[in-house]
Chain A
Amino acid sequence: MMHSRRTLQATLAAAALYAVMTAATHAQIAQSGDQPPNPNPPSESAGVERLPAGSGKSDVASVCSRCHTLERIASERRTKRQWDALVPFMVGRLERPPRPEQVRAATTYLTEHWSRPETKAEAALADPLREPDAPLPLAEARDLSGAWMTTSWYTLLNMGPADGLPMPRGLRSAVDLKKDPVEVLSSWSKEKSKGWTIYNDPLTTCHSPGPLAYNSPYPFEILHTPQRITLIAEYFHEVRRVWMDGRQHPPGNPDPSAMGHSIGRWEGATLVVDTQNFKESPAFLVPWSDQLKMIERIRRIRDGNVLEIDLTLEDPVAFTEPMHGTFYFKKEPMLEWSEWNCDGFFDYQPFAPKEPSP
């Protein structure tokens, strides 16, 4: 029990999202002085004795243990392809990246000691040299209807590509992929985000997540009707109407809205959606202004079973460079829908929230 609990903790603590969020909050809480420090900080070398000796072990210890307990690392077996993708992905997120030879040595060590054979299905799906997907007949390729479940969210939580899909790529500078997105935030954005704390996230008071609605652990649905394609996110019941009848955006942003005004066109089998006329985000972790322009390139891949959304965000007020990311959604023909609303938010008081001191 202790072992599995420990492993689970490590899993969760190490999962990409958690690691960063926790780091943020540790620092935030440490700064606020309002909360006690963590009485059991994770030991950097925890589990090192469980890793077999070998060339590259010290690199794993010095590189990977910056964020993960080694026990966590030793609890997972991945394919060579997954290690090859995962290690550079993780390392790319470090503020002080290790030397390339350290990354290579760590990857080699992990592959040698902690890998498993690739299944045939994984090999077929992940092989970049494989035959491309047989193109769907155009009418089928352009039928995006159905329920699409995020893979990005869960993939990132499990820290590896799911179902042979390429690793989703979160938003990065579109000009320089190495650039951390905070490097392209304008001073306006930084100023606007200053007041954000984990206690006053606008979502807690039912503010719309806006264009990030489908970047959530919830599915969305696409409906085709004459003149338009409609995207309905389960999360917050957000609806986007993508006008396909050739109309333009109303000039001058006359009615700013959380989800913006979307017009779409087909480029072959790719739906290109141009969304503008947003309203300024309330005070989100990620700010955007009413100048935000979002371009999505949406297409079905993997024999039509996966939806790829290639996202570009431009905002001359909030970002100094455009940002870009790629996300994947899996077709879920049997998905059971639920109602996700925020009615309960206002009476969700399981504890007395404490405002961090300013």
Chain B
Amino acid sequence: MTPFRAALAALFCLGVCASALAHHSIAMFDNDNSATLTGTVQKFQWQNPHCLLVLDAATVTNTKGQTEPDKVGVWSVELHSTAIMMRRGFTKDYFKPGDRVTVTGGRMRDGSKMIRLFNGKKEDGTPFYGDDFRPESTGNNLPPSP
């Protein structure tokens, strides 16, 4: 299947707007090559197309469980749009500068320090989710209603 055919199939076969998933496309991220970052929140941008968590990562762990000391530093963590975030229980103040968090997500394919969030944990253990809509994570397969 050519990329063109595949890309069209993505939209047509599923009948969903592929671009809705990500406005620069989630395909920039590699779900099979994730990173787990533990660090301190520098800022949390509540914006479209995607909210961004800017994190000063003290440890970076790859898919194989190995740490990557050369990758520590400031990373961007991409989350959902504001509307989806809001319906999943986030607010603009959910993360505050100085919060310590651990996050896991697919890495940018170009090697830049950015991930698309799968899930994470606050310092007190509170879990939060990104591209994880499994009923066992969210309790539902739709965004929760208030």
A and B interact physically: yes
What are 17 A-B interface contacts by the 8 Å CB criterion?
A: A9-B63, A12-B118, A12-B131, A21-B10, A24-B7, A24-B27, A36-B109, A36-B111, A40-B63, A153-B16, A158-B134, A180-B13, A185-B8, A216-B17, A217-B21, A336-B146, A350-B52
Question: B69 interface residue, CB < 8 Å from A?
Answer: no
What's the Cα separation between A9 and B135 when bound, in Å? 15
Q: Chain B's interface: helix, strand, loop or mixed, by majority?
A: mixed
In the complex the two chains form, is A201's CB within 8 Å of B24's CB?
yes
List, in ascending order, chain B residues with CB within 8 A of A153's CB. Answer: 16, 20
Question: B38 interface residue, CB < 8 Å from A?
Answer: no
In the complex the two chains form, is A93's CB within 8 Å of B142's CB?
no
Question: A38 interface residue, CB < 8 Å from B?
Answer: yes
List, in ascending order, chain A residues with CB within 8 A of B9's CB. Answer: 20, 93, 180-182
In the complex the two chains form, is A27's CB within 8 Å of B141's CB?
no
Set B78, B81, B119, B145: member contacting A350, Cβ < 8 A: B78
User: Closest CB of chain A to B137's CB: distance in Å?
Assistant: 8
List, in ascending order, chain A residues with CB within 8 A of B111's CB. Answer: 36
Question: B125 interface residue, CB < 8 Å from A?
Answer: no
Set A24, A36, A162, A217: member contacting B20, Cβ < 8 A: A217
In the complex the two chains form, is A25's CB within 8 Å of B25's CB?
yes
Interface residues of chain A, those whose CB is within 8 Å of chain B, are 2, 5, 8-9, 11-13, 16-18, 20-25, 27-29, 31, 35-36, 38-42, 93, 95, 149-158, 162, 168-172, 180-182, 185, 190, 193-194, 196, 198-199, 201, 203-204, 209, 212-213, 215-218, 234-235, 284-286, 323, 325, 327, 330, 332, 334-336, 338-345, 348, 350-354
In the complex the two chains form, is B108's CB within 8 Å of A327's CB?
no
Known: A95-B1, A170-B16, A323-B12. A341 touches B48 (CB 8 A): yes
